[in-house]
Chains A and B, each alone.
Chain A
Amino acid sequence: MKPIGNEKSKKSRLEMIAAGEKVDAVIHEELLNCEPAVEVQHFNLWYGKKQALHEISMSIPRGKVTALIGPSGCGKSTLLRSVNRMNDLIDGLSIRGDILLSGESIFAPGVDVIELRKRMGMVFQKPNPFPMSIFENVVYPLRIDGQRDRKTLNSVCEQSLRGAALWNEVHERLSESGLGLSGGQQQRLCIARAIASDPEVLLLDEPCSALDPLATGKIEDLINDLKGRYTVLIVTHNMQQAARVSDYTAFMYLGRLIEFGVTSQMFQKPYLKETEDYVTGRFG
């Protein structure tokens, strides 16, 4: 466990933030040696004049599941959406700092944002299958690349649906509308779509918040399966879920990264009292 920065300070982090002081994150030792898939470097983000992210620096380990937790409005989703530059769509956005994907800056002037997004899959809070057949939903990323070969499409569709643990349930009705599936199935369909283009990083933005416990369980099992093949970054409000599925957990508060470490330690013996308070539900 190696805290960085003003660890000596006796003031609580929350008080420091309230006072507008600079707060450095506590990053656990185990994380320093791992190979990062995504590196966030001194990243700041403003919506107009309002700063949403403050000096975030973290390395997301390759092939692991990293959970982002924190109270609502702490910037988890903003950070997640910065990774595949979905925030580009928002007017009045400005940034400072950088994010590297496999060592390359994603904000470099020559980066094609379309290509960048193809290297990342993203799943949203609410299932958003497209109004087309299940098959077309899954192969959508290939379609937009102009792939027309039926064989390739079929095999990718099967692989992705199997990868999303949905194949057995839907393989007989691939030509039916994706909107006809249940909520949990729809979300797994979205995961299948996200992994269809074989991305490096999978970004999950509270993927279970709109689902019932049974469907949530299935998705969690799926995330466990995906571990190792993809680098997964998941935003969640559900502590148990973070504890169950993730290898590493990052705790954010008011746009700052507070503590980032191995999940088991974060939940059982965090370095900071604030983290402990949050994971045990005493504040937040």
Chain B
Amino acid sequence: MSNMTTSATSQEQTEQNKQPRRRALQSGFSLLARAEPQIWFTGGMLAVCLAMVVSLMALILASGLPTFWPQPVDWLALRDGTLDAGEAKATSVVTPSKESTETENESGISFYYRTENFDLTKTHYRWFKPKDLLTSGIVRIPQTTLIERFEWGHLYCIPLRIHEPLEANEADKTSIDSFAAMDELLKFLSQLPSFSSGDDALGEAFTKGTQRTRELLDRAKSDAIHRSISQAGSQNVQVRAAGEQAWRPKSELELSAPLEAARAIVTAPEDIRTRVAKVLPIVRSQRKRLDQLKRELSRLDVRISKLRIAVRQAELDTASVLPIQLDGAHYLLEQRNQLKQISAAKTQVLSVLKDSNDAKLFEDLFSEFEQKQAPAELASIEKQLSDWRKPLGVSPQPLRDAVTNYEAGYSEVISAKQPIQKQITSLQAELERGELIVCVPNDARRIEDVSKDDLLQTASGKIAQPVIDLLNAMDTPVTEDSGNVLFASDALTLVSFSDNLATNHILSVSDKLNFLAEHPVGYHELVRVLPVNELTVGGKLSVYFSRWAEFLFEEPREANTLGGIFPAIWGTIVMTLIMTIAVVPFGVMAALYLREYTNGGTLVAIIRISINNLAGVPSIVYGVFGFSFFCMTIGSFIDGGPKGADIDVWPSATWYLVLWSTVAIGTAAFLFSFFSSGPFHAQTKLKHGLARAAFALWLVCLMAAIALIAKSPFFDGFYAAQLPNPTFGKGGLLWASLTLALLTLPVVIVATEEALAAVPNSLREGSLACGASKWQTIRRIVLPHARPGILTGAILAMARGAGEVAPLMLVGALPNAPELPMDSEFPFFHGSRNFMHLGYQIYSLGFQSQNSEAAKPMVFTCTLLLILIVATLNVAAVFLRTRLRRRFQGNQF
């Protein structure tokens, strides 16, 4: 029946099919004709994704890029009678809330300002509510200046004048220096035991010599000041007499009187500007030189600590204990060093004094000293030194040598340190020579009772006519407490219209007008001095780029909120590269074995699944593993051997037993695998068994080898002398890189496997048919063909690794690591050093720092930079990949 039905239906169908189809084309508007709904749907999804990515990027760009753009500075007059100044950052409209009773005061616009002047105000940012501000209380004063300081950050101010000590000439400087040196030397001599117990004649001569030196020094200083005043000519100079505190114009003092100090004062705005422009580069170079000197000093310190470690190493090597205190010799060595410099100091002073009576005095003093006291003194020091050394007599030779080396090295270092320290002191004095006096908002006090008339009276003749007009036209402001008060806002208008001279005057004439305060800024504090409100676009651009350059190439200061982040950039790049170098060979080898040598099966499937699952382990877990395995186990093992890593060692008999059995097992494994090789079709059951046994034996062999190293009783670590300070047994660049390499291993393995799978089998067969071995085929055909794909894996791994932060917290990244992990010092790469990392920087700036508000712009700039670095690495690798790929594609049509 059913058969019949089917045939009937099919017959009907054929009849139907014979009819010509009559479906007319739809005319008019058809949505479906435009596009399928799926296109809109998928396109819409893409648009959503794009919107999210773009808005993220836009947020980072918008917050990161303007950080260094110089913004105008406003002055704000507050209702409580104080002033503030800052860069506008944000506004928000305040709507009166229903519960609030003072609705009138609440409504309006709130302003968010970066007020800085941190040392004075203790705030970085501040909200100004509508009720805080005076009406029209925001004024932009043209001569407002932003000073970027080396410490304490920005300062918003108006420069008033410059104080600068007068320059002494070279001859005066030399004589001052030599008298000062002599003074110091005499002070040193007076502390020597031979002086306290010496005869009276010498003591008398010594006291006389000391007094005379002081006199000479004072006179030299005063003379130098007089000479420099006469050289300074018509400059505006103030002087201070000896023993006095107050500065006076030079005309008020007799110049023949002994002077203690003199300074030039610059007040004209243009002069201030030119002077600052001239000083800034000098300050910069001096600061750089200072850094250099400090680095040299620390290098000398490192040398001493190395010698100390060498002594400790000798102790360990000879299994003996140092019978003396190393530090015991320091004082003696320093004294000996000073004694040796006496004759040099004498010659210096005598060359200044020439043939005067004073010269005779010093000659006598020193001839006596050089002939009798000094040799005796030296001999006693030598004797003390040999006493100190005496217990060493029983110590073994290497230890004695190490101590001798230490002694010699220490004396060398202290004599090398002296000139450097002297240079540092003089450079610091040089840096602190001048100061810029500025006026800053004084938000601590109110202005009271300064009437308009007072001001006009006191400042008469100094205030420009428009200001006087303005003051006259001003209605007397009305406040709650008093009827006749000059408000800060009016004063601001006044300041903005008058020039520096008038401002100076206003400040100086009235103590009551204390909404502004004077503040000195030493030359050494200056980094940039910017007239922000008068900058042209070109000027702003140049400031912008110079700030970026500072950010990129300099070291951080002020808890990373200022200065650059070069160490973090460098740390990120070096770490990423080392991670890549570590992970790619491992990953590629593993993938090669999985794809080319295994023939599938459960074990391989399990391995593959495990590798894929590794990618899902939270990265902090890798950090924990890296810390406990790399730092605490392997690192401690490298530092101090099995003892350092808390591993019980085998007795040497056991160790040798295991060694020989391992060799035997290894040989057996080799033989087993040798005899089990061959093509599959030729394999017997015996061979199959042999292959399995060989694999097991290799495993045992590997385990035994690891145990042999870990349990060796003969290894005491490479850095035992430094213990208990760990070298590798703590976080460091190497361990961080390896931890991240482990983290990114799955990425590389999966990508490489896919790349290998994409190599056409016909190529492998072609190569094998040519008589190539499997390895030759892999090396010459498969790997080159898979290289673009492998590179893709490496790129992904790099991007993942560079952006990873969590594990780094545990394995070596620090918010501030002064030493670069890779530099020009031998051995160039210091894997054990801590390092800085951009990602970690973002975390520590944004969430760990004391004032995260101040660090916020830096957070976004760091993010931007990190993205840029990752993008650059990616683009470079993509470029490389495209070039490689082009080689394999040819120009097929």
Chain A interface (Cβ < 8 Å from any Cβ of B): 84-95, 107, 109, 113-115, 117-118, 120-122, 124, 126, 128, 130-132, 140-141, 143-145, 176-180, 190, 193-194, 197
**Closest B residue by C-beta to A129:** B766
- Contact, CB under 8 Å: A86 / B679: no
The residues of B that contact A115 with a CB separation of less than 8 Å are 771
CB of B771 within 8 A of CB of A144, answer yes
Given contacts A113-B679, A131-B887, A177-B887, contact A144 B770 (CB under 8 A): yes
Q: Are A144 and B892 in contact (CB under 8 A)?
A: no
B27 interfacial by beta-carbon distance below 8 Å = no
Residues of chain B lying within 8 A (CB to CB) of residue A87: 681
Q: List 15 A-B contacts (CB under 8 A).
A: A84-B769, A89-B765, A95-B681, A114-B772, A117-B769, A121-B770, A124-B762, A128-B766, A130-B780, A131-B781, A132-B784, A179-B889, A179-B890, A180-B891, A190-B766
Query: Given A126-B762, A144-B773, list of 4 further CB < 8 A pairs?
Result: A87-B681, A130-B767, A141-B771, A178-B890
**Complex Cα–Cα for A128 and B763 (A):** 6
Assuming the contacts A128-B760, A180-B892, asked whether A86 and B770 have C-beta atoms less than 8 A apart, the reply is no
Indicate if the CB atoms of B892 and A141 lie closer than 8 Å: no
B785 within 8 A of A: yes
Tell whether A92 pairs with B680 under 8 Å between CB atoms, given A130-B766, A130-B781, A180-B892. yes
Q: Tell me how far the C-beta of A233 lies from the nearest C-beta in chain B, rounded to whole angstroms.
A: 13
> Complex Cα distance A33/B599, Å?
44
Give CA–CA (A107, B679) in the complex, Å.
10
Interfacial chain A residues near B24, Cβ < 8 Å: none
Bound CA–CA A105/B889 (angstroms): 41
B769 near A107: Cβ-Cβ < 8 Å: no
| A85 lies within 8 A of B890 (CB) | no
* Chain B contact residue count (CB 8 A cutoff): 29
Shortest beta-carbon distance from B887 to chain A in Å: 7
Within 8 A of A (CB), among B145-168: none
Within 8 A of A (CB), among B748-801: 760, 762-763, 765-773, 776, 780-781, 784-785
Interface of chain B: mostly helix, strand, loop or mixed: helix
Which chain B residue has the least Cβ–Cβ distance from A108?
B682
Contacts of B768 in A (CB 8 A): 86, 89, 117
Q: Are A179 and B892 CB-contacts (below 8 A) given A107-B682, A115-B771, A144-B772?
A: yes
State the Cβ distance, B504 to closest chain A Cβ, in Å. 80
Given the complex of chains A and B, what is the CA–CA distance between A193 and B770 in angstroms? 8
CB distance from A157 to the nearest CB of B (A): 14
Q: How far is the CA of A119 from the CA of B684 in the complex (A)?
A: 27
B29 within 8 A of A: no
B residues near A92, Cβ cutoff 8 Å = 680
In angstroms, how far is the closest chain B Cβ from the Cβ of A59? 23
Docked complex Cα distance between A19 and B771 (Å): 41
B763's partner among A88, A120, A130, A144 (CB-CB below 8 A) is: A130
Interface contact B890-A180, CB-CB below 8 Å: yes
The verdict on B888 contacting chain A, using a C-beta distance below 8 Å, is yes
Q: How far is the CA of A131 from the CA of B679 in the complex (A)?
A: 28
C-alpha gap A121/B767 in the complex (Å): 11
Shortest C-beta distance, B613 to chain A (Å), equals 27
A126 to B767, CA, bound (A): 14
Q: A94-B681, A109-B682 are in contact. Are A131 and B769 (CB under 8 A)?
A: no
Task: Looking at the assembled complex, report how far the CB atom of A175 sits from the nearest CB atom of chain B, in whole angstroms.
Answer: 12
What 10 A-B pairs have minimum CB-CB distances, sorted nearest first?
A179-B890, A118-B771, A122-B769, A131-B888, A180-B890, A88-B679, A128-B762, A177-B890, A117-B771, A128-B766
- Tell me if A88 and B889 are in contact (CB < 8 A): no
A125 to B536 CA separation, bound complex (whole angstroms) = 74
Complex Cα–Cα for A193 and B486 (A): 100
Which of chain A's residues have a CB closer than 8 A to the CB of B891? 177, 180
Collect the chain B residues with CB atoms within 8 Å of residue A145's CB.
771
Is there an interface contact between B680 and A88, defined as CB atoms closer than 8 Å? yes
CA distance A5 to B525 in the complex (A): 110
A193 surroundings in chain B (CB, below 8 A): 766, 770
Q: A86 near B765 (CB under 8 angstroms)?
A: yes
Q: Which residues of A contact B890 (CB under 8 A)?
A: 131, 176-180
Q: Which residues of A contact B784 (CB under 8 A)?
A: 131-132
Residues of A contacting B767 in the complex (Cβ-Cβ under 8 angstroms)? 130, 140
Who on chain B is nearest to A89 by CB? B768
Q: Point out the residues of chain A lying under 8 angstroms from B892, CB to CB.
A: 179-180
Which residues of B sit under 8 angstroms from A85, Cβ to Cβ?
A: 679
B892's nearest neighbour on chain A, judged by CB, is A179
Least Cβ–Cβ distance between B611 and chain A, in angstroms: 23
Which chain A residue lies CB-closest to B762? A128
Given A193-B770, A197-B770; A144-B776 close (CB under 8 Å)? yes
CB distance from B605 to the nearest CB of A (A): 15
Given known contacts A131-B785, A179-B888, A117 and B770 CB-to-CB distance under 8 angstroms: yes
Q: In the assembly, what is the distance between CA of A140 and CA of B771, in Å?
A: 10
Q: Is the CB of A91 within 8 A of B763?
A: no
Question: How far is it, in angstroms, between the C-alpha of A132 and the C-alpha of B781 when the chains are bound?
Answer: 9
Min C-beta distance of A251 to chain B, whole Å? 25
Q: Which of B835-893 contact A (CB under 8 A)?
A: 887-892
Q: Which B residue sits closest to A145, measured CB to CB?
A: B771
Chain A residues with CB under 8 A of B682: 107, 109
Contacts of B776 in A (CB 8 A): 144
Quick one: closest B residue to A115, CB to CB? B771
Q: How far is the CB of A173 from chain B (nearest CB, A)?
A: 11
The interface residues of chain B lying within 8 Å CB-to-CB of A179 are: 888-890, 892
Nearest neighbor of B785 in chain A, beta-carbon distance: A131
Known: A131-B887, A180-B892. A114 touches B769 (CB 8 A): no
Q: Interface centre among A93, A140, A194, by most B CB within 10 Å? A: A140
Closest to B781 in A: A130
- A118 CA / B767 CA spacing, docked (Å): 11
Partner of A91, one of B599, B772, B887, B889: B599
